[in-house]
Structure 1
Amino acid sequence: MKTIILYIAISILGIGLCEAQTIEITNRNTIELLKKQRKNIIVQEKEELKVEVESINEKLDKNEITLEEANELKEAAAKKHALNIENRVAIIDNKIALIERNEEAKVEEGQSVVFKWEEKDKKERSNYRDERTTSTIMLAAGFNNALKDGQSLNDSDFKIGGSRFFEIGWVWNTRVFEDTNWLRLKYGVSFQFNGLKPTDNRYFIEDEGLTFLEEFPTDLKKSKFRMDNLVIPVHFEFGPYKRIDHESGPTFSTYKKFKVGLGGYAGFSLGERQKLKFEEDGDNVKQKLKSDYNTNDFIYGLSGYIGWGNTSLYAKYDLNPIFQEPNAESHNVSLGLRFDLD
Structure 2
Amino acid sequence: MKSLITLSTALAIWICSTGFIQAQKNTDWTKNEIEKLNILKENAVKIEKEALKSKIENINKKVSEGSVSETEAENLKKAAAEKHALNIDNRIAIFDNQLALIDRNGMDSTKITGTAIVFGWGQEDVDNDLIFGVKVRKGSRGTVKKYDRRTTSDGYIAVGFNNVATSGESLEDSDFKVAGSRFAELGWTWKTRVFDNSNWLRVRYGLAFQFNGLKPTDNRLFVDTGEQTELQTYPLDLKKSKFRMDNLVIPIHFEFGPSKKIEHENYFRYATRNQFKFGIGGYGGINLGARQKLKFEEDGENQKQKLKADYNTNNFIYGLSTYIGWGATSIYAKYDLNTIFKNNAVDQRNVSLGLRLDLE
- Judge same fold: TM > 0.5, yes or no: yes
Instruction: Percent identity, please.
Output: 60
SS in 2 for 1:126: coil
Asked which structure has the greater RCO (Cα within 8 Å, sep 6+), the reply is 1
Distance change (3 Å), C-alpha of 1:295 and 1:246 = same
**Cα separation, 2, equivalents of 1:127 and 1:288:** 52
Which of 136, 145, 148 is 1:130 aligned to? 148
Quote the offset at 1:124 in angstroms. Answer: 8.2
**Separation in structure 2 between the aligned mates of residue 270 and residue 287 of structure 1, nearest angstrom:** 20
Distance 1:117 1:302, change over 3 A: closer
Which residue does 2:181 correspond to in 1? 163
CA contact (8 A) 1:211 1:327 kept: no
Question: Under a length normalisation based on structure 2, what TM-score does the superposition of the two structures give?
Answer: 0.61
Q: Secondary structure at the match of 2:172?
A: helix
1:291, distance to aligned residue in structure 2 (A): 0.4
Residue 119 and residue 190 in structure 1: after superposition, are their counterparts in 2 closer, same or farther (change >3 A)?
A: farther
Q: Corresponding residue for 1:298?
A: 316
Structure richer in helix, relative to its length:
1
Whole-angstrom distance in 2 between the partners of 1:125 and 1:119: 16
What do residues 304-338 of structure 1 show as CA deviations (whole Å, max 9, x unaligned)?
00011111000000000000124421000000011
Of 238, 243, 246, which residue of structure 2 is paired with 1:225? 243
Cα distance in structure 2, aligned partners of 1:240 and 1:252 = 10
Shift of 1:258: 0.2
In the aligned structure 2, how far is the partner of 1:241 from the partner of 1:173?
13
Q: Deviations over 1:165-205 (max 9, x none)?
A: 00101110111112110000000000000000000111111
**Counterpart check, 1:314 vs 2:337:** no
Q: CA deviation at 1:210?
A: 1.2
* Contact residue 203 and residue 215 of structure 1 kept, 8 A: yes
The aligned amino acid for 2:326 is: W
1:265 aligned partner: 283
1:167–1:115 distance in 2 versus 1, CA, 3 Å: closer
Cα pair 1:125 1:248 within 8 Å, conserved? no
Q: Which runs of 5+ in 1 are unaligned?
A: 1-32, 41-91, 97-113
Query: Which residue does the alignment assign to 1:243?
Result: 261
TM-score, normalised with respect to structure 1: 0.64
In 2, the alpha carbon distance for the partners of 1:318 and 1:332 equals 5
Is the contact between residue 187 and residue 208 of structure 2 (CA under 8 Å) also seen in structure 1? yes
Aligned residues: 234
Q: Which runs of 5+ in 2 are unaligned?
A: 1-47, 56-81, 96-140
Superposed, 1:17-28 pairs within 5 Å as none
Specify whether residues 220 and 260 from structure 1 end up closer, same or farther in structure 2 by C-alpha distance, changes over 3 A only. same
User: Hey, what's the Cα distance between the residues in 1 that align with 2:326 and 2:247?
Assistant: 28
Larger Rg, first or second structure (1 or 2): 1
Alignment RMSD (CA, Å): 2.6
Q: Distance in 1 between matches of 2:233 and 2:143?
A: 69
**Alpha-carbon distance, 1:243 to partner:** 1.0
Partner residue, 1:3 = none
Q: In the alignment, is residue 280 of structure 1 matched against residue 302 of structure 2?
A: no
